[in-house]
Structure 1
Amino acid sequence: MSATSTRRILLTDKAVKSLPYAEAKPQIVRDARIPGFHVWVGKTTKTYRLQYETPRVGGKRGTTMVQWLGEHPHATADEARAKALEIQALRARGEAIPRLVVAAVPEAVPALTFKAAWDAYKAAITKEGKSVRTIADYQDKFDRHLKDWHGRPLADIKREDVIQEHAAITERARKSRAGQKYSSGKYAANGTMRFARAVWNYAKDELEAPGLPQRNPFRSGKLFHKEKARSTGMGVSELPAWWAQLQALANPIRRELHLFSLLSGLRRTDVITGRWANLDVIRPSLKLPSPKGGDERAFEMPLSNAMVECLERAREAGRTYFPEESKEWIFPAAGGHVAEVKEEGRQKLSHTGHALRHSFRTLAGAAGIDRLRLKILMNHAIDDDVTDAYANVPALFASLLDAQEQISAFILRHISLGASK
């Protein structure tokens, strides 16, 4: 794209900030001191660049080269100026300019595709220790809902494209609910766009990809569907009916799995991937080395007597049904561990998986457990509040164990009361 040259000024952060964006053709505003150093002003971006010619060969004029030095305001004018001077010094000494930082013309710079941006972002969050499950969820959204955008340059994705795709994902996910992990097309669309927004922000702020607009086209604004917290937890009055359904299950391993889910409030994946190696029956506790949030959220969950007894029954049943798998997995199945917690057919349970985590939260509140200890037991972040942030979690183990005992006793007491009626 050709641009119109304008005046020469001393390029400073303040001066560049005051430059109006181009209405039609991009504008080139040259620096008053360094030849070739300028800012390319487009409709939505302002990019520092250095333009120069390669030496003449055989009397023929050299090739015009353009070096991209960073985008305002992510790169300062002083940073860009320093890079320009460094390149000029290399040229004056006759040294080669590194190929990775030089482009023949602006149009020759490879456009950063959505896939390339995701690959870079995935590498970054993997390095920082993001949970394997979170990364897998992002990959699923990328593969399932954004496959048509894999090869599309990020800079070409406009707000209107995002709005249309959000609506399309909503409809596609809604129609394919049966047998899919997404419970709602609205939630699938929102979650996909949150993921895309994170990828775009990384490309903008960390990769400093040229040509991206000032505002993220995936921003929430008024785009996202309104979401409501799901009220799926059981109260005390529902416990007896659920307990009767549980006792009707033929598989003893699955019976203990669901009971442990209710007594612990653990996330589904943490339950089914529990290993005997992480169990300490003396302390007593179960270590979760890589829960949601990654290694940084690893924690040691205190176990009530009822929880320990539940695991002992699971061990006995596992050894009977799956001798080899039960050596490693607390809730074994053929070839590994239990993979699906839902019960189908006549033995269907009213509450499984995350609904039991919600039930734990509801019943723990009814048992009178304070908010801080409950947040820790559920492995929720406590550093949002300054006072909570001072809590020494390891030092609270005895108190957390007491809270766990209270919750288990409360749940089992109300199950027994209902069963005796």
Structure 2
Amino acid sequence: MSSATSTRRILLTDKAVKGLPYAEAKPQIVRDARIPGFHVWVGKTTKTYRLQYETPRVGGKRGTTMVQWLGEHPHATADEARAKALEIQALRARGEAIPRLVVAAVPEAAPALTFKSAWEAYKAAITKEGKSIRTIADYQDKFDRHLKDWHERPLSSIKREDVVQEHAAITERARKARVGQKYSSGKYAANGTMRFARAVWNFAKDELETPGLPERNPFRSGKLFHKEKARSTGMGVSELPAWWAQLQALANPIRRELHLFTLLSGLRRTDVVTARWSNLDFARPSLKLPSPKGGDERAFELPLSNAMIECLERARQAGRTYFPEESKEWIFPALGGHVAEVKEEGRQKLSHTGHALRHSFRTLAGAAGVDRLRLKILMNHAIDDDVTDAYANVPALFESLREAQESISQLIMQKAAPSDAP
């Protein structure tokens, strides 16, 4: 058995094998208490079931020592490996040849799964299950931007110390670069990248059943991740008048209505800029979001208040005036398509745009007295974490949701522009 160290004999069970510590230096051999030759080979990152035996003597000479691979824990259970060992022993006792399917002595090494290959397989899986295009694009950005040195690296070679060092390196690189201001800080970039890598690793371990991976995910959070704080960027009631004055100073009427609709709806930036007239139902009235964050499974119908309808009507008129072709499809059109960037620069800068307006909607909804369940639905947040919330029939709540939407809109318009409010 070459350079491995042989240890005690125990009854090999799933629980017993799981409790065996990985080898720190030389591999360890833990033999089964019942079946001669049946053992588990414990390496630094793997635990492999094997059977050792000798071939029959030929011409008085001792036979050849054979070592048969029976499976890797935990992908193969102890009972499965034991059954294979007994099958081989029975074939030997009857003098029968051992089928090649069973005998794979030390199997040929398959090409190691690289991080790139694991990501491509994971991407194909989450695309099939309907994960949103934006989420997949975000994962791809993390893969390309922060993990390019690991693309061709075997997944099994990535250790915890490598992850700790890379997390620190990403933190520093992202802090210095702030590429396109995509990340608020290097800390968030590092945490997000490792969450992505953790998901890829788990997929390779659990779904692809990649051999050679340790039981513990080296990308696990543990003490690795930086502490994150929820951003307090939302406006309160007292800040609305100043923001409204800034909004009215914008020269572009399409962008004025875009920002107002974002505040009134609480929608994510991408959902607002990609809103289509074909998904708007003035009669109901509602706006359908077929593929929001989370993909098709998170599709929902947003009830519209009177203020929101008036905002969209002004947007339609402005769009037809400035971009007659683009406005046929997009609610907030721009040259060649729809508005892409929501930030305002220069003298016409707004204090709150994009996600800060979503935070503001959350804050102002509380001031309007809207209950937590209806607010979660309006913001398209998951409600199935709580068993009571999970019983809610969302379609049946549409009228109640529209009443809540109306209350929020009335508060916003009354406090931001008293003279314009109904």
Q: TM-score, normalised by structure 1?
A: 0.87
- Per the TM alignment, residue 164 of structure 1 is displaced from its structure 2 partner at its CA by 1.4
Contact 1:276–1:328, Cα closer than 8 Å, also in 2: yes
Are residues 65 and 194 of structure 1, via their aligned partners in 2, closer, same or farther at CA, if it must alter by over 3 Å? Answer: farther
Are residues 181 and 20 of structure 1, via their aligned partners in 2, closer, same or farther at CA, if it must alter by over 3 Å? Answer: closer
Measured against aligned partners, the alpha-carbon deviations of 1:116-173 in whole angstroms (never above 9, x if no partner) come to: 1111221222222222111111110010001001111122212221111111111111
Q: Secondary structure at the match of 2:122?
A: helix
Contact 1:103–1:109, Cα closer than 8 Å, also in 2: no
Mean CA deviation greater in 245-254 or 411-420: 411-420
- Per the TM alignment, residue 38 of structure 1 is displaced from its structure 2 partner at its CA by 4.7
Are residues 81 and 407 of structure 1, via their aligned partners in 2, closer, same or farther at CA, if it must alter by over 3 Å? Answer: same
Are residues 372 and 67 of structure 1, via their aligned partners in 2, closer, same or farther at CA, if it must alter by over 3 Å? Answer: farther
- Per the TM alignment, residue 402 of structure 1 is displaced from its structure 2 partner at its CA by 0.4
Contact 2:244–2:417, Cα closer than 8 Å, also in 1: no
Q: Unmatched 5+ residue regions in structure 1? A: none
- Per the TM alignment, residue 350 of structure 1 is displaced from its structure 2 partner at its CA by 0.7
Distance 2:327 2:51 in 1: 65
Contact 2:413–2:421, Cα closer than 8 Å, also in 1: no
Contact 1:64–1:104, Cα closer than 8 Å, also in 2: no
- Per the TM alignment, residue 194 of structure 1 is displaced from its structure 2 partner at its CA by 1.0
Mean CA deviation greater in 121-130 or 140-149: 121-130
| Residue matched to 2:315 | 314
Q: Secondary structure at the match of 1:109?
A: coil
- Per the TM alignment, residue 225 of structure 1 is displaced from its structure 2 partner at its CA by 1.2
Are residues 10 and 178 of structure 1, via their aligned partners in 2, closer, same or farther at CA, if it must alter by over 3 Å? Answer: closer
Contact 1:50–1:66, Cα closer than 8 Å, also in 2: yes
Mean CA deviation greater in 243-252 or 78-87: 78-87
Are residues 37 and 128 of structure 1, via their aligned partners in 2, closer, same or farther at CA, if it must alter by over 3 Å? Answer: farther
Aligned length: 420
Contact 2:49–2:81, Cα closer than 8 Å, also in 1: yes
| Residue matched to 1:24 | 25
Distance 1:82 1:319 in 2: 74
Measured against aligned partners, the alpha-carbon deviations of 1:290-320 in whole angstroms (never above 9, x if no partner) come to: 1111111111110011111111111121122
Are residues 91 and 256 of structure 1, via their aligned partners in 2, closer, same or farther at CA, if it must alter by over 3 Å? Answer: farther
- Per the TM alignment, residue 86 of structure 1 is displaced from its structure 2 partner at its CA by 9.0
Are residues 414 and 211 of structure 1, via their aligned partners in 2, closer, same or farther at CA, if it must alter by over 3 Å? Answer: same
Distance 1:417 1:58 in 2: 106
Measured against aligned partners, the alpha-carbon deviations of 1:68-119 in whole angstroms (never above 9, x if no partner) come to: 6543234322344567789999999999999999988557222221111111
Mean CA deviation greater in 23-32 or 164-173: 23-32
Are residues 413 and 68 of structure 1, via their aligned partners in 2, closer, same or farther at CA, if it must alter by over 3 Å? Answer: farther
- Per the TM alignment, residue 273 of structure 1 is displaced from its structure 2 partner at its CA by 0.9
Q: Secondary structure at the match of 1:417?
A: coil
Mean CA deviation greater in 90-99 or 77-86: 90-99
Are residues 410 and 129 of structure 1, via their aligned partners in 2, closer, same or farther at CA, if it must alter by over 3 Å? Answer: same
| Residue matched to 2:355 | 354
Q: Unmatched 5+ residue regions in structure 2? A: none
CA-based RMSD: 3.9
- Per the TM alignment, residue 241 of structure 1 is displaced from its structure 2 partner at its CA by 1.2
Measured against aligned partners, the alpha-carbon deviations of 1:2-44 in whole angstroms (never above 9, x if no partner) come to: 5456687764324434545334322345668889865321134
Are residues 17 and 405 of structure 1, via their aligned partners in 2, closer, same or farther at CA, if it must alter by over 3 Å? Answer: closer
Matched, 1:405 2:406: yes
Distance 1:13 1:377 in 2: 47
Contact 2:115–2:150, Cα closer than 8 Å, also in 1: yes
Distance 2:352 2:180 in 1: 18
- Per the TM alignment, residue 286 of structure 1 is displaced from its structure 2 partner at its CA by 0.6
Distance 1:98 1:335 in 2: 66
| Residue matched to 1:158 | 159
Contact 2:38–2:50, Cα closer than 8 Å, also in 1: yes
Are residues 50 and 330 of structure 1, via their aligned partners in 2, closer, same or farther at CA, if it must alter by over 3 Å? Answer: farther
Contact 1:233–1:360, Cα closer than 8 Å, also in 2: yes
Measured against aligned partners, the alpha-carbon deviations of 1:215-266 in whole angstroms (never above 9, x if no partner) come to: 2221212221111100100111111111111111111111111010000000
| Residue matched to 1:295 | 296
Aligned residue runs from structure 1 range 61-72, under 5 A:
70-72=71-73
Mean CA deviation greater in 202-211 or 99-108: 99-108
Contact 2:84–2:102, Cα closer than 8 Å, also in 1: no
Are residues 85 and 263 of structure 1, via their aligned partners in 2, closer, same or farther at CA, if it must alter by over 3 Å? Answer: farther
| Residue matched to 2:225 | 224
Are residues 16 and 317 of structure 1, via their aligned partners in 2, closer, same or farther at CA, if it must alter by over 3 Å? Answer: same
Contact 2:305–2:409, Cα closer than 8 Å, also in 1: yes
- Per the TM alignment, residue 210 of structure 1 is displaced from its structure 2 partner at its CA by 2.2
Mean CA deviation greater in 97-106 or 179-188: 97-106
Contact 1:157–1:217, Cα closer than 8 Å, also in 2: yes
Are residues 90 and 307 of structure 1, via their aligned partners in 2, closer, same or farther at CA, if it must alter by over 3 Å? Answer: farther
Distance 2:172 2:267 in 1: 32
Distance 1:28 1:163 in 2: 31
Identity, in percent, stands at 90
Are residues 67 and 324 of structure 1, via their aligned partners in 2, closer, same or farther at CA, if it must alter by over 3 Å? Answer: farther
Q: Secondary structure at the match of 1:69?
A: strand
